[in-house]
């Protein structure tokens, strides 16, 4: 008896996300990293990613610049977003910063002679239907041997109302992100689970009242002060077997 083959990793869209196809690119409602309610978490994510970044960085989906501001010293940065409100916020935030340029182009399929040592995408890839195709296109903007650094939500079993509200097509696993890198023609050089202590919090928070912004902000702030420092300390010493997020690095062939 033949076995059904699973859909290619890069084509997977969570069944609950089927109605999101027309919302692609609208990230203004994304609550994950848009504000400063979680400064410890934002700094941790920036540190995890920055160790893989070269001198010239293209940040795709930079949002309001919360992550950008934490790694931009020492880098030449192009902060890209397609949201008009985010682009305006980025220009105001980094006005006078000679090493930061704000870009509002849709980079998918963009033909450009400009090349970067690294491309960074923090909580962006899950908003894109064709994740592997997007990474393949962005890899053309890398120098040979350059990295695409991706930070995404994990564990499809935790997909809930908040994921749908903020436009997630899927959540990832280590296995799935590796396959997406390979389909995009990138070598997965480091793909791992992170943020293990946040799993119970998201299991409750992600299925709660997604419209109660004040409550959500309070809970996020409490988690940031209490759990993030402990999780960060743990994961500096132990490679965890599961996590609420996946950090992945895919490398263009030299």
Domain ranges for the chain: 9-251
pLDDT of residue 9: 61
Tell me the DSSP string of 153-202: EB-GGG--HHHHHTT-S--B-HHHHHHHHHHTT-EEEEEEEE-GGGHHHH
Q: pLDDT > 90: what percent of the chain?
A: 67
Q: What Rg value do the Cα atoms of the chain yield, rounded?
A: 17
Nearest partner of 168 among 7, 9, 16, judged by Cα: 16
Tell me the average pLDDT of the chain.
86
Superfamily of domain 9-251: Vaccinia Virus protein VP39 (3.40.50.150)
Quickly tell me which residue has 């970044």 as its tokens.
53
Residue 250 has pLDDT above 50, yes or no: yes
User: How much is the pLDDT for 189?
Assistant: 96
Predicted confidence (pLDDT) per residue in 2-20, tens digit: 333 445 665 688 887 766 5
| 124-170 pLDDT per residue, tens | 999 999 999 999 999 999 999 999 999 999 999 999 888 888 889 99
The number of C-alpha atoms within 13 Å of 92 and in the hemisphere containing its C-beta is 8
Per-residue model confidence (pLDDT) at position 137? 93
Q: Which 3 state secondary structure label does DSSP give 104?
A: coil
**Residue 60: strand, helix, or coil:** strand
């Amino acid at each position: 008896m033949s076995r059904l083959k699973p859909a290619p990793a890069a084509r997977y869209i969570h069944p609950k996300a089927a109605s999101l196809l027309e919302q692609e690119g609208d990230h203004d409602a994304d609550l994950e990293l848009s504000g400063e309610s979680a400064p410890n978490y934002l700094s941790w994510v920036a540190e995890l990613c920055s160790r893989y970044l070269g001198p010239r960085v293209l940040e795709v989906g930079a949002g309001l610049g919360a992550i950008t501001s934490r790694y931009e010293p020492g880098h030449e940065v192009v902060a890209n977003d397609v949201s008009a409100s985010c682009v305006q916020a980025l220009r105001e935030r980094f006005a006078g910063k000679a090493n930061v340029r704000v870009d509002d182009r849709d980079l998918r399929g963009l033909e450009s002679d400009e090349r970067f040592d690294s491309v960074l995408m923090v909580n962006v890839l899950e908003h894109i239907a064709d994740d592997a195709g997007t990474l393949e296109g962005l890899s053309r903007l890398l120098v040979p041997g350059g990295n695409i650094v991706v930070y995404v939500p994990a564990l499809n079993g935790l997909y809930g109302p908040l994921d749908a509200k903020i436009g997630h097509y899927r959540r990832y696993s280590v296995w799935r992100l590796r396959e997406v890198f390979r389909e995009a023609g990138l070598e997965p050089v480091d793909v791992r689970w992170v943020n293990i202590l946040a799993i119970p919090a998201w299991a409750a928070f992600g299925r709660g009242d997604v419209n109660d912004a004040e409550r959500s902000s309070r809970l996020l702030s409490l988690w940031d002060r209490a759990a993030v420092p402990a999780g960060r300390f743990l994961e500096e010493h132990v490679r965890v077997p599961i996590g609420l997020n996946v950090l992945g690095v895919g490398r263009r062939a030299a």
